[in-house]
Amino acid sequence: MAQTCCHAHHGGCRCGTDSCVRRVPIFSMLDPRKLAEISALVRPREYEPKDTLFSAGERIAGIYIIRHGAVKLVRGDEDGHESIVSILRPGDFYGGDSMFHDSHSRETALAMEPSGICFIPEGDLRALLSRDPEIALKIIQYYSSQHVRNMNMLEILAAGDSMRRVCRFLLWQTEQDPLSRVTLSQEEMARMLGLAPETLNRKLAVLKKAGIIRMEGHRGISVLQPQAQNRL
């Protein structure tokens, strides 16, 4: 269940609205006046692991910006099988096309760990974009980078060999993490890569034996020798 975050260290919350905005890359370089203007629009929320931010088919009534933590977007098919289509991390956001016209989500969003969200209602967002081209440009730039990320994932999935798919995915994920760690469970990785869990487990075991990765519990992989994966 989401909690509203009002002030730092109050009621389990981690920050006030000013801090929420400063932690979001698309807003962090704005001048104090603009930061204060955006802060007044933000509805901070806190989620625990496995909490649902929104469900597939639900109307998207604003923009969800990840302040801390991680959120996975899950999509199901007609047979009830679910696949993870994206992982949102700090600075990422989701709003569908709600900033332009009425829309509904095709995915369900689930918190993977304790996560803080800056939510900006749709009407406030539209007004903000119409009067501040700088922020509108930053959002357009983000969508452009998101398109590149989606293309990278498509290239990984196109790799026919399962080991190559796993290696490329690990490299891609660690490039986005300053500690070169992958904080996904093996089940989540398998669902993203379209592999059977047993197949993924065998490939990771080979990488571990070769000293290329280190397993860190159920949810954590450190890549120790990124370039060594090219030899497999």
Structural contact between residues 219 and 187, judged by C-beta atoms closer than 8 angstroms:
no
Distance CA(95)–CA(97), nearest Å, equals 6
3-class secondary structure, 96: coil
So what's the pLDDT on residue 51?
A: 97
Q: What is the pLDDT of residue 9?
A: 37
How many other β-carbons are positioned within 10 Å of the β-carbon of residue 215?
Answer: 13
The predicted structure's pLDDT at residue 13: 40
Q: Is the dihedral of CA 202, 111, 182, 139 positive or negative?
A: positive
Alpha helices for the chain (secondary structure H): 17-22, 25-28, 32-39, 122-131, 133-158, 162-175, 186-193, 197-209
Q: Which two tokens stand for residue 117?
A: 């969200």
Q: What is the pLDDT along the chain (232 residues), one digit of tens a residue?
A: 565 544 333 333 444 566 667 777 777 777 888 888 888 888 989 999 999 999 998 988 888 989 889 999 998 877 667 788 888 888 888 886 555 566 788 889 999 999 999 898 888 888 888 888 877 787 777 777 766 777 777 788 887 789 989 988 888 877 776 666 787 888 888 888 888 889 999 999 999 999 988 888 777 888 887 776 665 5
Least Cα distance to 92 among 58, 74, 116, 61 occurs for 116
Determine the residue type at 25. P
- For 7, 13, 30, 104, 150, the CA distances from 10, given in Å and listed in that order, are 5, 5, 27, 33, 37
Give dist(CA 83, CA 73) in Å, integer.
Answer: 9
User: So what's the pLDDT on residue 8?
Assistant: 36
Specify the pLDDT at position 12.
36
The two structure tokens encoding residue 19: 């801090």
3-class DSSP state of 49: coil
Give the C-alpha separation, 170 to 223, whole Å. 8
* Contact call for residues 197 and 190 (beta carbons, < 8 A): yes
Residue 160 has a pLDDT of 74
Number of Cβ within a 10 Å radius of residue 69: 20
Does this model's pTM top 0.75? no
